[in-house]
Amino acid sequence: MLNERFYRSIYRIRRVEEEIARIYPTDKIKSPVHLSIGQEFVSVGVCEALNPQDVVFGTYRGHAMYLAKGGDLKKMIAELYGKATGCAAGVGGSMHLICREKGVMGTSAIVGTTIPVSVGYALGRKYMKSDVVTVSFFGDGAVDEGAFHESMNFAALKKLPVIFVCENNSYAIHSHHLSRHDSDNICERVRSYGITAARIEDGDIFAVHEFIKSKIGEIRGREGGPVFLECLTCRWKEHVGPNEDFDLGYRNREEVDCWMQRDPLRTLKSSLASGVRMAIESEIEAEIADAFRFAEESPFPDPKEAYRHLFKD
């Protein structure tokens, strides 16, 4: 049942991040966290349409993508705690999550850098005649970068099996996209490269999922070229950190309120029988408690581990 799957995944991500925000003031997590709260539906809608062997590349606001694709929760929390048991052994932190066995190929803190990398990955897969689909997640800020346009051009030129997912939350840190772009026309610009592009404005997770489902067959069969999906969304919390940021004055509460009112978590919740819902919630609460306990109890890395893995031997 799609409702149930969506609810489970969004609830899990939401609750994990709420727990991160709750713990954050204790300073146990010494890593800049860019919370996805409010934006989870994009990652969930997309990743629920993928196969386990499909691959995703993402950004520093990557908790939702990592979890939606099946990334290990315990290892993620341990990574935030800087523990040896983390998904990057305490080297990467919140902005550099990885879970290769689930197809999470790494998140990057430099805006736009994983876009050409995902295009290259798709090139490699096409060359190997593999049916793995590559998905590239990024925000509207990345659209400003040269690498974004270089990537669109090359992906279209080589007709690569890659899906671009732009999470447009309107802000690059605190700069509104209309202070950075002449027009609200990202899809139009992408189409000019020869790429099919669609925009979902109302936060409808079913529409996100349906769009990916409708395109993925031909991409997997290497018949279709790249596809671009822009999802309007809203970041409920501050750019980085666990708090709200209405005091800064760069956006007003109403902007966020209107997105909170259409929170897919709420509509999904009401669509489920209470028994089903409560079973999901209690299972996830137990998993989260377990993950934080695991992180707390895990050892810090040996200081000499700082020198490891500079090169592959």
Partner 1 sequence: MERILAYPEAIREALEQEMEKDPAVFIMGLGVDDPKRILGTTAGLLEKFGPARVFDTPLAEDGMTGVAVGAALAGLRPVHVHIRMDFVLLAMNQIVNMAAKSCHMYAGALSVPIVIRSIIGKSWGQGAQHSQSIYPLLMNIPGLKITAPSTPYDAKGCLIQSIRDDNPVIFIEHRMLYYQKGHVPADPYTVPFGKARLLSRGSDITLVGISQMAVECLRAQRCLLDAGIHAEVIDPVSLSPLDLDTIRSSAMKTGHLIVVDNAWMSCGAGAEIIARLVEDGCHRNLKVRRMGFAAVPCPTSPPLEREFYPDAGKIAVAAFEMLNPKRKWEPESTLPPEEVAFKGPF
Whose Cβ is closer to partner 1: residue 176's or residue 308's? 308
Q: Which of 230, 68, 234 is nearest to 165 (CA)?
A: 230
Binding-site string for partner 1 from residue 124 to residue 163, where x marks contact by CB under 8 A and - marks none: xx-xx-----------------xx-xxx-xx--x------
Beta bridge partners of 168: 232
Cβ-based nearer residue to partner 1, 117 or 276: 117
82 contacts partner 1 (rule: CB under 8 A) = no
CA neighbor of 196 nearest in space, from 179, 180, 169, 215: 215
- Show the binding pattern over residues 110-129: x = contacts partner 1 (CB under 8 A), - = does not: x--xxxxxxxxxxxxx-xx-
Task: Write out the E strands in the chain.
Answer: 55-59, 104-108, 134-139, 162-168, 171-172, 175-176, 196-200, 227-232
89 binds partner 1, rule: CB under 8 A:
yes
Using CB under 8 A as the binding rule, whether residue 303 contacts partner 1 is answered as no
Residue 275: CB atoms within 10 Å: 8
Q: Whole-number minimum distance, CB 269 to partner 1, in Å? A: 35
A 10 A CB-CB count for 246 gives 13
Q: How far apart are CA 62 and CA 67, in angstroms?
A: 9
Of 28-36, 41-49, 288-296, 305-313, the segment contacting partner 1 by CB under 8 A is 305-313
Give yes or no for residue 165 binding partner 1 (CB under 8 A). Answer: no
* Using rule CB under 8 A, residue 98 touches partner 1: yes
Of residues 110 and 258, the one with the C-beta less far from partner 1: 110
> Taking Cα atoms as reference points, which of 61, 30, 64, 40 lies closest to residue 138?
61
Q: Which residues contact 175 (CB under 8 A, 6 or more apart)?
A: 141
Q: Shortest Cβ distance from residue 13 to partner 1 (Å)?
A: 21
> Interface with partner 1 by CB under 8 A: which residues?
57, 87-92, 96, 98, 100, 105-106, 108, 110, 113-125, 127-128, 146-147, 149-151, 153-154, 157, 308-313
